[in-house]
């Protein structure tokens, strides 16, 4: 699992509620900034940074622009999209103009690296700076421990977290009196400050966040004493989380809107629940399959026996044939774990490996009994076809 990667949304500088157009615009902006074509005159360190940033943004876009991959990433994080990441750049990056045309189609407001006049418009399609800021609450990450039995059937867990919630005294407004909320005198409610700069390339208009209202377009003259005007107070709360069957250790589930509340009626963040699997006392997991080792006596191996195998739905009786060899593997079809909903079908299998226990000490009468059988042909090694294949397989372990 790719634990050292940056969150794809963070890599593109967008929130998790971003639309398809927002994702496309964010990648376009990142590609414009970090494509290696723009850094040919930079230092080696700058070129390396640009290459890494461009690959990171491209990988993020390749996942978030695909609805199926995006849904898997939103629910399970990197574990849901392993092996489905960035495009292959081994053959070169290609020109930025070609890249953007292939992804977004033609027409970028005249933007071109070879045309200085192309900077006259906004290359990112931002024709207006009049949007007010809507605050989004921070995400919360927590862990939940599950037994193999819980994973097999799916379950519902309660997780307790501390998070920012709307202030009950001011209903999250930041002030008790609505009349104390005024339109910002500096930006006149737009949330942005417009700046015009004249240069050799023409007039350039830029928009920056209003420093007086923080981009909200409003100011509070009499802030609430309980929350200090933020509209938020911290509380310890319990959230019910539905865990689907078949999840694996390290998977991340996303519970939308259960993170910190946003300021002044903003959008709440998300709650990320990381799965931590508690090791089973007898069963070992590998994907959907389970493995169990059963030790039997020499007599049971020679004469045959019935053994009890612990399965997730109760003990299961398995009949061993007479002459069972040590290392024999019995497959119990469908006794493994289910696939996570939407990521496969069916159930895995349970593999039972039989090991024969040889006693180290024998009584005198037992020694006499085994000595009397030593020379008999039935006790002289002479593997048949099936046994020989088993022994050859065991030899390869070394």
- Which of 94, 125, 156 marks a domain boundary? 125
- Tell me, yes or no, whether 178 lies in a domain: no
> For 317-356, how does the pLDDT look when each residue is reduced to its tens digit (9 = 90+)?
999 999 898 889 999 999 999 988 756 678 899 999 999 9
Determine, yes or no, domain membership for 370.
yes
- pLDDT surpasses 60 at 106: no
CA dist., res. 300 & res. 320, Å (int): 8
Residue located via tokens 């809507």? 134
Question: Is 366 within the bounds of a domain?
Answer: yes
What is the structure's pLDDT at 134?
66
CA 135, CA 173: separation in Å to the nearest integer? 13
Q: Is the pLDDT of residue 126 over 80?
A: no
Query: Which DSSP symbol is given to 338?
Result: B
Cα separation values, 305 from 297, 321, 359, 379, Å = 10, 7, 18, 19
E strands, the chain, in order = 140-146, 155-166, 181-183, 192-199, 202-209, 218-220, 232-243, 252-255, 271-277, 284-286, 289-297, 305-311, 314-320, 329-332, 350-357
Kindly state the percentage of the chain with pLDDT values over 70.
77
Residue 3 forms part of a structural domain: yes
Which of 77, 101, 125 is the last residue before a domain boundary?
Answer: 125
- Indicate whether 144 belongs to any domain: no
Given a cut of 60, whether residue 120 has pLDDT beyond it is no
Answer yes or no: is 328 within a domain.
Answer: yes
- Last residue of some domain: 107, 125, 143? 125
Task: Specify the pTM.
Answer: 0.60
Res. 112 pLDDT band, cuts 50 70 90: very low
Q: What CATH number has the domain bearing residue 107?
A: 1.10.287.110
What is the average pLDDT value for the chain, to the nearest integer? 80
Inside any domain, residue 55: yes
Query: Which pLDDT value is given to residue 4?
Result: 64
How large a percentage of the chain has pLDDT more than 90?
31
Q: In this predicted model, what pLDDT tens digit does every residue of 205-219 receive, in sequence order? A: 777 888 888 778 888
Q: Which domain holds residue 78?
A: 1-125
What domain count does the chain have? Answer: 2
Closest CA to 254 of 14, 80, 22: 80
Q: Residue 97: which pLDDT band, with cuts at 50, 70 and 90?
A: low
Is the pLDDT confidence value at 191 over 70? yes
Residue 140 in domain = no
Distances (CA, A) of 108 to 32, 37, 122, 297: 11, 17, 9, 77
Residue 164 has pLDDT above 90, yes or no: yes
CATH of the domain at 383: 2.60.260.20
Mean pLDDT across the stretch 179-198? 84
Q: For 371-397, what is each residue's pLDDT tens digit?
A: 887 766 666 656 665 555 655 665 555
Q: Give the Cα separation of 40 and 50 in Å (integer).
A: 10
Q: Does the pLDDT value for residue 284 go beyond 90?
A: yes
Residue whose token pair is 């508690």? 278
């Amino acid at each position: 699992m790719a634990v050292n990667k940056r969150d794809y949304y963070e890599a593109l500088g967008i929130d998790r509620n971003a639309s398809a157009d927002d994702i496309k615009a964010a990648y376009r902006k990142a590609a414009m900034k970090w494509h290696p074509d723009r850094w040919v005159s930079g230092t080696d360190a700058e070129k390396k940074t640009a290459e890494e940033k461009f690959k990171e943004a491209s990988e993020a876009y390749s996942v978030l622009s695909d609805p199926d991959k995006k849904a898997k990433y939103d629910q399970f994080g990197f574990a849901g999209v392993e092996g489905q990441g960035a495009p292959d750049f081994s053959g070169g990056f290609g020109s930025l103009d070609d890249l953007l045309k292939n992804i977004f189609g033609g027409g970028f407001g005249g933007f071109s690296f070879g045309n200085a006049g192309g900077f006259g418009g906004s290359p990112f399609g931002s024709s207006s700076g009049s949007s007010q800021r809507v605050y989004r609450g921070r995400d919360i990450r927590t862990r939940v421990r599950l037994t193999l039995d819980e994973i097999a059937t799916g379950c519902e867990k309660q997780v307790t977290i501390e998070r920012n919630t709307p202030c009950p005294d001011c209903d999250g407004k930041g002030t008790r009196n609505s009349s104390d909320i005024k339109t910002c005198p500096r930006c006149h409610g737009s949330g942005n400050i417009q700046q015009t700069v004249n240069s050799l390339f023409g007039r350039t208009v830029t928009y920056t966040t209003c420093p007086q209202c923080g981009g909200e377009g409003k100011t509070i003259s009499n802030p609430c004493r309980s929350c200090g005007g933020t509209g938020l107070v911290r509380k310890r709360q319990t959230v019910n989380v539905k865990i689907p069957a078949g999840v694996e250790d390290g998977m991340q589930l996303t519970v939308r809107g259960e993170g910190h509340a946003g300021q002044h009626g903003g959008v709440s963040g998300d709650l990320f629940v990381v799965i931590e699997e508690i090791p089973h006392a007898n069963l070992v997991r590998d994907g959907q399959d389970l493995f169990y080792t059963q030790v039997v006596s020499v007599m049971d191996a020679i004469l045959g026996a019935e053994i009890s195998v612990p399965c997730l739905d109760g003990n299961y009786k398995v009949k061993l044939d007479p002459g069972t060899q040590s290392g024999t593997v019995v497959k119990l079809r469908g006794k493994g774990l289910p696939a996570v909903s939407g990521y496969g079908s069916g159930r895995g299998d349970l593999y039972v490996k039989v090991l024969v226990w040889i006693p180290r000490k024998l009584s005198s009468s037992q020694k006499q009994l085994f000595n009397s059988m030593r020379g008999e042909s039935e006790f002289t090694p002479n593997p048949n076809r099936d046994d020989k294949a088993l022994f050859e397989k065991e030899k390869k372990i070394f």
